[in-house]
Amino acid sequence: MSRRYSTVASGFGDRLREERKRLGLSQKDFAERVGIARLAQLHYEREIREPRTSYLSLAGANGVNLAYLLFGETAEIDNQAPEEARGLERKIFDLIDQYVANCCNGVLSSEGRFVLFEVIRTHCLQAVHNGQSVDESLSAFRETWDSTASLHEQQ
């Protein structure tokens, strides 16, 4: 992406186009579903502009794999037992609450929370698939956020 401090993995536009095509949608149809103009969709796919969180939230709600879109990661598993899934979701919600309290002055939109949830959940499932524990995966997020918060405090 063109921004200097972007955290989105390179190839975002290509992955966005792949996801849109996987869903069988034209740029116009996808743009309508997520509430933007076709030209804005074109700009995202060509990496001329970066989308807002609300766009990502709506894209996720329309079937886009957000972890793949943002980071190029795919989780091939999603077959946890209901109890395990609820436990993982509870841990992720707790982590997001801690992040919002410590790094966002207690404020993060529901769209932002949704995007974080989807990304963290997919990352955790991928970690389990690769033989890591969920707790290790969540710990990595917590450490990253803690170091980010301390950098902001120093400024």
pLDDT in tens, 52-86: 888 888 888 888 888 788 877 665 545 566 677 77
Q: How far is CA 60 from CA 11, 97, 131, in A?
A: 18, 20, 26
CA 63/CA 61 separation, integer angstroms = 6
Pair 39, 93: CB distance under 8 Å: no
Q: How far is CA 145 from CA 72, 93, 95, 140, 155, in A?
A: 20, 15, 10, 9, 16
Q: What is the pLDDT of residue 31?
A: 97
User: CA 97, 123, 151 angle in degrees (round to 5)?
Assistant: 55
pLDDT (tens digit per residue) in 107-135: 888 778 888 888 888 888 777 777 888 88
Domains, the chain, with CATH or none: 12-65 (1.10.260.40), 82-154 (no CATH)
The sign of the dihedral angle between the CA atoms of 117, 123, 128, 129 is positive
pLDDT band at residue 32 under the 50/70/90 scheme: very high
Angle between helices 27-34 and 53-61 (to 10 degrees): 110
The answer to pTM > 0.75 is no
